Amino acid sequence: MRWTALGIALASLLAPPCPAQPDHGFDWVTIGDPGNRDVTPDEAPMFFPPFSEPFEVGGVDHVYRITRTEVTVSQHLEFVSAYAPYWDGFPDDPHFIGFFIQYDAAEDRYFIPQGFEDVPTEMSWHIAARLVNWLHNDKAKEQWAFENGSYDTSTFGKNDDGTWNDQPAHHPDAKFWIPTIDEWIKGMHWDPGKDGQGGYWKYPHSSDEPPIPGWPWEGGETSAGIVEEPGDPYLPVGSYPHVQSPWGLLDGSGGVREWTETFAVDRRARFKNGTAQYQPFHEHFDRLDVVGGNPPNGIDGVRLASVPSPAAPALLVCIAFTARRRSHQ
């Protein structure tokens, strides 16, 4: 459904005011154009026969926010330090703290080695769920704040048949959550103005050609596919600021692979998307119609989703006008 300018303006005026949502230090991007269509077989052949049973994704019927980049090590550290009193596993378990946060047993504190604060972090899906619960509960320090809000962690567990009992989707009133596969794909690939009528780019940087591996200072477009040499650095998030999705999201390729909320149909894995630094075959894994997945007790990166900010109605006007302008060019 294409919104008219008048309809947008009226909707903005009549929309109930959204409660103020804290940003919690994250850089949010609002994804509008609610009601966009799913991918088509032409755009995403791997999601349709003969490659797959039909997997129609990408359409999102609501406005939402998504972080411009993956969660960083420093953002993760704040959560780790808050949740540590309730973590009953090994203090260094990478499912909890990823690979870069360090634990000082003598001082019973976690810290980051200097220079790695803005590198993308990794964690299990179950820990990512607790992270968004904590944000939903305004970073309260008590244990309850980590165990519900967006996802009820009492549902987490593996069944005897290998499926997961976990709550499949965030609570309807959640303020923060892990992006669904539709929200991730839309934010990375959907362009309301593509070809004059809206469409999906094949790759998450507004192109149908794969991003070019290479260091940003050498003109590269992604850290995936780089052939690693001794001493090569891990890049901070946002290292390719000009390589953007149609909505301005960064690091859809490279960095770390990212969890989504959505279970595969058999409930054995949550989808994950994107590629990691140095990952080969990125031209395959970065495609619109290629998704990965891991059981939720695996270790991967994540970016976050949220309800729109109070400025969303006005922003919607801007986004809709822009889309309409593109469609008439």
List interacting residues with other proteins (CB under 8 A).
42-43, 45-47, 50-53, 55, 89-90, 92-95, 99-100, 102, 105-106, 113, 116, 119, 162, 195, 199, 202, 208, 228, 230-234, 257, 264-266, 268-269, 271, 276, 278-281, 284-285, 291-295, 297-299
Backbone angles phi, psi at 64, to 5 degrees: -150, 170
Cβ neighbour number for residue 94 with a 10 Å cutoff: 15
Residue pair 98/122 in contact (Cβ under 8 Å)? The answer is yes
Cβ 13 to other proteins shortest distance, Å: 37
Cα 233 to Cα 219: distance, rounded to the nearest angstrom: 16
The dihedral formed by the CA atoms of 40, 44, 50 and 51, expressed in degrees to the nearest 10? -150
The token pair that represents 281 in the structure block: 């075959």
Shortest distance (Å) from residue 232 CB to other proteins: 5
Looking at the Cβ atoms of 120 and 149, the one nearer to other proteins is: 120
Neighbours of 108 (CB within 10 A): 10
Nearer to other proteins, 4 or 207 (CB): 207
The tokens describing 312, both together, are 């969303």
For other proteins, give the closer residue by CB, 136 or 287.
287
Q: Minimum distance between the CB of residue 132 and other proteins, rounded to whole angstroms?
A: 21
- Quote the least distance from Cβ 162 to other proteins, whole Å: 5
Find the shortest distance in angstroms from Cβ 123 to other proteins: 12
Closest to 55 in 3D by CA, of 39, 42, 69: 39
Q: What is the smallest separation between the CB atom of 214 and other proteins, expressed in angstroms?
A: 16
Nearer to other proteins, 134 or 271 (CB): 271
How far apart, in Å, are the Cα atoms of 85 and each of 138, 262, 298?
18, 29, 22
Is the Cβ of residue 63 or residue 269 nearer to other proteins in the bound state?
A: 269
Contact 35, 1 (CB under 8 A): yes
Q: Which is nearer to other proteins, 294 or 306 (CB)?
A: 294
Q: Which residues of 285-322 are buried (b: 16+ CB within 10 A; e: fewer)?
A: bbbbbbbbbbbbebbbbbbbbbbbbeebbebbbebbee
Nearest approach in angstroms of CB 33 to other proteins is 19
**In the complex with other proteins, which residue's Cβ is closer, 147 or 283?**
283
Nearest to 97 by CA among 108, 112, 107: 112
